[in-house]
Amino acid sequence: MFRIVHKRQLSEAVFEMGVEAPKIAAKARAGQFLMVRTDENGERIPLTFSDWSAEQGWIRFIFMRVGKTTHALSHLEVGDMLADVVGPLGVPTHTEGAGRVAIVGGGVGVAVAYPVARAMCEAGGEVTVIVGARNSELLILEKELRALPLRELVICTDDGSAGRKGLVTAPLKELCSSGELDAAFAVGPAIMMKFAAATTREFDVPTTVSLNPIMVDGTGMCGACRVTVGGETKFGCVEGPDFDGHAVDFEELMSRQRIYSDIEREADAEYSRGCQCHL
């Protein structure tokens, strides 16, 4: 059992949660993830580390309420217990010799972009972070990002309620064409990563994406997380979640993410009917 020691609501549907887990905190690296199960009957869901403290023995993750499990998770409070937290999982993001990098985070993907940006800065990289959200309400971790020694923080919103109006690909393209970019890293909805990778491809800027295929065990045992990269089948949980964005088959990824959409929707609807929160 893992005790919840921190909870904060970042926007209407996005929450940050901290859990006491000293052993995991001692091993966590940027880009790695956890499998979390709320209770005995719960689903195992993957969530990325957004922060951790080896000294104080806690880890944090940020999640968006999308379906039943994240819904249930959002109802838990400090002092409650999670049945299972497994990690760190996946290969840490490669940060050495970072050079001049652009880190692109979309939506709740900013939760992953933040620790990656921090690690890249620590590794001596010259880091530009580009974050995108639908509107200013949905922007997360702005304060934390501002505290990093970034070269620049670019904020984009679809409606222009904060930062630039428009998509993250526009500033990314400008950076690429200025010729001042050695590499890019993108994390967020698959469609955003697809367009980010398409943007950098034109300029031959090597681009890493952090993929979010459906997972069951997260340890290389079930094959649910398979993605096609450069024509080969890879297991997202043990060989990823980071892959070469120019080689990923994003159409397949997006299609596979929808396998359970219909049945999940029913389950969440049923859950929400019985739930007292009226959200």
Residues at the site binding ligand FAD, with contacts judged by CB under 6 A: 33, 43, 45-48, 61-64, 66-71, 108, 111-112, 212-215, 241, 257-258, 260-261, 264, 268
Among 148, 153, 216, 267, binds ligand FES (CB under 6 A): 216
User: In angstroms, rounded to a whole number, what is the distance separating the alpha carbons of residues 248 and 156?
Assistant: 25
Which one of 3-11, 124-132, 179-187, 256-264 is the stretch in contact with other proteins (CB under 8 A)? 256-264
Q: Is 221 in the site for ligand FES (CB under 6 A)?
A: yes
Taking the complex as a whole, the smallest distance from the CB of residue 24 to other proteins amounts, in Å, to: 7
Backbone torsions φ then ψ of 69, nearest 5 degrees: -70, -45
Count other Cβ atoms within 10 Å, centred on residue 189: 16
Tokens of 141: 């971790």
Q: Is 223 in the site for ligand FES (CB under 6 A)?
A: yes
Which one of 59-67, 186-194, 229-237, 255-263 is the stretch in contact with ligand FES (CB under 6 A)? 229-237
Convert 26-52 to b/e letters by CB count within 10 Å (16 or more is b): eebbbbbbbbbbbeeebbbbbbbbbbb
Residues 83, 37: contact at Cβ < 8 Å? yes
User: At residue 185, what is the residue type?
Assistant: F
User: In angstroms, rounded to a whole number, what is the distance separating the alpha carbons of residues 246 and 63?
Assistant: 27
Which one of 4-12, 20-28, 115-123, 168-176 is the stretch in contact with other proteins (CB under 8 A)? 20-28
Q: Is 190 in the site for other proteins (CB under 8 A)?
A: no
Closest CA to 185 of 135, 134, 138, 246: 246
Q: Is 242 in the site for other proteins (CB under 8 A)?
A: no
Which one of 56-64, 170-178, 194-202, 252-260 is the stretch in contact with other proteins (CB under 8 A)? 252-260
The site for other proteins, by CB under 8 A, has a size of 43
Dihedral of CA 30/82/39/17: which sign? negative
Helix (H) or strand (E) holding 261: helix 261-274
Binding mask 176-215 for ligand FES (x = CB under 6 A): ---------------------------------------x
**Binding at 170: pick from other proteins, ligand FAD, ligand FES, none (beta carbon under 5-8 Å per type):** none
Taking the complex as a whole, the smallest distance from the CB of residue 123 to other proteins amounts, in Å, to: 21
